Chains A and B, each alone.
Chain A
Amino acid sequence: MRTVKKAQLLRLHFCESDQYNGKPLYEAIVDLCRELKIAGATVFRGLEGYGETAEIHRHRLIRKDQPIVVTIVDTPENLGRLIPEVEEMMDTGMIATSEVEYVRIEKPPAAGA
């Protein structure tokens, strides 16, 4: 049974070395998403990149400072609750949203395995 629904995709760009209350920012954001009952969140680590400070983010021997992208898909209302809080937590970085359609796949575990 396919249900195509409208939703929003939120992408947060920042770097791996960003911290929030002593833990990595991306962990803090994922925890926050759980608290706010956001449908899901996925953290990706980029290989290399640069942002507004024009500092190249890449993996160095001692300091890990690669770019991080967090992607979240949920309704505009839920993201509306999330975005102000995330903005508070991020020092530098970028928040991008786009309109998407989504298909949620959920089958009983036994079927066709």
Chain B
Amino acid sequence: MLQKGTAKKVTIFVNEDTQHHFGSLFDAILEFLLHKGVSGATATRAIAGFGAHQVMHTTKIEILTEHLPIRIEFIESAQKVDEIMPTLYDMVTDGVIEVQDTNVVKVANKEHPSPPKGPHTEMKGTARLMRIYMGESDKWMEEPLYEAVVKRLRLMEIAGATVYRGILGYGAKGHTHKSSWFSRDLPIMISVVDSEEKLAAAITEIESMMQDGIIVLSDVDVIRLVHSRPAAESSHANG
């Protein structure tokens, strides 16, 4: 199963009509990858290109549409790539295999969720509660700051965040946050609970996004933590 973090991206260039055991080579490669349980692979047909034979293949001229390049790409862990590379090397009789280091940012799979990630579940007993105060009209890159902050927290895999809108308030800026017919600048508070280290990292990020406001931290006891994915489902995904 593909995990977040460092991985290898493999790109294979072959010709559309290269044969492999009475079938086309790219079909055979895809079937092999599927058989080996690779998380996903994509084959795309190019519209033009040339290879080691120094002959241009293009869709523009009918006679040259044979031998169009096919590009097969997949991302897997380094261990998996090592495992399947010898066979791939053997299969690609005419073409190029390229491997590069990559960084997987997100693996989202609706039907088969990936196993629950460690950091959330390890949090037991005590944790830190962070409250971030800001104004509703505060912006970050043209979007509401509170939305941007929640998105960023999500990217950082912070356990959870809740945005509250106040009905009245004031802060260091001195002006009253209230709702009127013409403008709306109510106070916003985001509350976040997670471990001290993760919140420390989050504060640095949030600080760079906020122009003005206050972040309040306190120690709390966590009584219950619900996993985002039930254990039964994750074992199913592993199997």
Contacts and interface: CB of A to CB of B under 8 A. Distances in A.
Interface of A: 2, 4, 7, 9, 26-27, 30, 33-34, 39-45, 68, 71, 73, 98-107, 109, 111-113
Interface string B216-239: 111000000000000000000000
Given A71-B189, A100-B216, A100-B218, A105 B169 contact: no
Nearest to A40: B171
Query: Which 6 pairs across A and B sit closest by C-beta, in order of nearness?
Result: A42-B169, A40-B171, A43-B168, A103-B215, A100-B218, A42-B187
A39 B164 contact: no
A35 to B, nearest CB: 12
A101 B171 contact: no
A33 to B, nearest CB: 8
A44 B188 CA distance: 9
Given A26-B168, A44-B164, A104-B172, A2 B216 contact: no
Interface string B190-227: 00000000000001000110111111111000000000
Nearest to B168: A43
Nearest to A98: B218
B133 interface: yes
SS class, residues of chain B in contact with chain A: strand
A106 B212 CA distance: 5
A112 B208 CA distance: 9
Contact of B212 (A2, A98, A101, A105): A105
A98 B217 CA distance: 11
A45 B171 CA distance: 18
Contacts of B213: 105
Contacts of B78: none
Contacts of A107: 210-212
Contacts of B207: 2, 103, 105
How would you classify the secondary structure of chain A's contact residues: helix, strand, loop or mixed? strand
B170 A30 contact: yes
Interface string B122-154: 000000000101000000000000000000000
A41 B216 contact: no
Contact of A101 (B170, B210, B216): B216
Given A103-B203, A103-B217, A40 B211 contact: no
Contacts of B212: 105-107
B189 A101 contact: no
A90 B169 CA distance: 18
B8 to A, nearest CB: 36
A4 B217 CA distance: 9
Given A44-B189, A102-B216, A113 B211 contact: yes
B167 interface: yes
B135 to A, nearest CB: 10
Given A42-B189, A43-B167, A101-B216, A109 B133 contact: no
B166 interface: yes
A9 B218 contact: yes
A101 to B, nearest CB: 4
A40 to B, nearest CB: 4
